[in-house]
Structure 1
């Protein structure tokens, strides 16, 4: 065995890894699609959770105070607004992690104050 044998083996291994990574382009696309589906479901769940929590609080207060259905309607609208606000915050968070912003690779803008 020569002194260069480990270096040659390492080079051959790196070539094999590079070739294997070249064949993974199709699986990366399906993983990206799966990730987008997860983000979409997360946003739907946040909206529905806001509506559900608002409905529950409103219904409970209406049952206690006997003001049916006024507080339920009010809290459903408040829950919807909270769900939309949470969805927008999640969308902004996902956008910052996927696309680097003007602030650099971490996606933070200089205006954020962080």
Structure 2
């Protein structure tokens, strides 16, 4: 009778060990899914940031060009030039935010500052 009880306990322990191993592997897979989802969210956030910076620069250039043309009377040249400058500023901001262009360090260019 004691042997039957020991065998039953060993079977139950082996079964619980297998279930525990399955749960651990499922947890690892779930953690990998969460990491991938977080990376994806960070990518979307970066894309939204870059696109909003780009669009904002173009809109600011267009509005300043319109105001410039309205008060000075140089229509449409002020808007065209400032719209193009806004586009260039937007591209530069996106490249800086993406890390493709380094930000200028003004302190290193001055020989009198050490």
TM-score tier after normalising by the smaller chain length = 0.5 to 0.7
In the alignment, is residue 52 of structure 1 matched against residue 59 of structure 2? yes
TM-score normalised over the length of structure 1: 0.61
Structure number with higher relative contact order (C-alpha < 8 Å, ≥ 6 residues apart):
2
Which of 75, 92, 105 is the matching residue for 1:85? 92
Question: Between Structure 1 and Structure 2, how many residues are aligned?
Answer: 76
- The runs of 5 or more residues in structure 2 that have no matched partner are 1-23, 101-107, 109-114
Ranges of 4+ aligned residues in structure 1 off by more than 2 Å: 19-23
* Alpha-carbon distance in 2 for matches of 1:28, 1:58: 45
Q: How far 1:89 sits from its partner (Å)?
A: 0.3
Which of 26, 31, 45 is the matching residue for 1:24? 31
> SS in structure 1 opposite 2:99?
helix
* Alpha-carbon distance in 1 for matches of 2:93, 2:27: 37
> SS in structure 2 opposite 1:68?
coil
- The runs of 5 or more residues in structure 1 that have no matched partner are 1-18, 94-112
Q: Give the structure with higher Rg (CA).
A: 2
Q: How far 1:25 sits from its partner (Å)?
A: 1.1
> SS in structure 2 opposite 1:36?
helix
Q: How far 1:41 sits from its partner (Å)?
A: 1.1
